[in-house]
A and B are shown apart, each in its own frame.
Chain A
Amino acid sequence: PSINVSKRQLQTLLQSDQHQTSVSTPLGNMMLEIQGDLELPRQWSEDQRFTTIDKEQLVRWGLLHIDPSRNNAILFVGRKQRLLGSLVKLDTPLGLIKFNQQDGIVEMQDIFYYKVLFKSRPLPIM
């Protein structure tokens, strides 16, 4: 079997030679990585942290702060944890690809050059 990879969404990006230089890509995507399991609720709750945007149900779980001059990052998870990390340049850029089984389409939607990485043990919130 064989299927084309569409790069329609990347066109303007590739043509203009723009690429990610900070926490998110020019197309608005971000890659966040944590050394551990991130437990989040999977069911709706009547709580201010739960919202609906464009028919998607979301849970707000964290707050991220980046210090661009030093590439340091702080991540607050829930109400109790604080993680220290950094903006890391990827050794090899990563293409973000969606495999849409329903429509039989494969699309490269973005390219990540950086990720925000948290590999230290979470600290309590002081």
Chain B
Amino acid sequence: DEIRIWVRYKEGFSDAVRKNVSWSSLWS
């Protein structure tokens, strides 16, 4: 089965970092 459909599990969840948003990043 060459078609790879797979979840690579991650032990933890991280979402601590926050940063301001630049105008150009809205469109990229």
Contacts and interface: CB of A to CB of B under 8 A. Distances in A.
Q: Do chains A and B touch in the complex (CB under 8 A)?
A: yes
Interface of A: 1, 34-41, 45, 47, 49, 59, 61-62, 77-81, 83, 99, 101, 106, 119, 121-122
Contacts, number: 53
B10 A61 contact: no
Contacts of A80: 6
B19 interface: no
Interface residues of B, number: 14
24 contacts: A34-B7, A35-B10, A35-B13, A37-B10, A39-B4, A39-B6, A39-B7, A41-B3, A41-B5, A45-B3, A47-B3, A49-B5, A61-B5, A77-B6, A77-B7, A78-B4, A78-B5, A79-B1, A81-B6, A81-B7, A106-B26, A119-B13, A122-B7, A122-B9
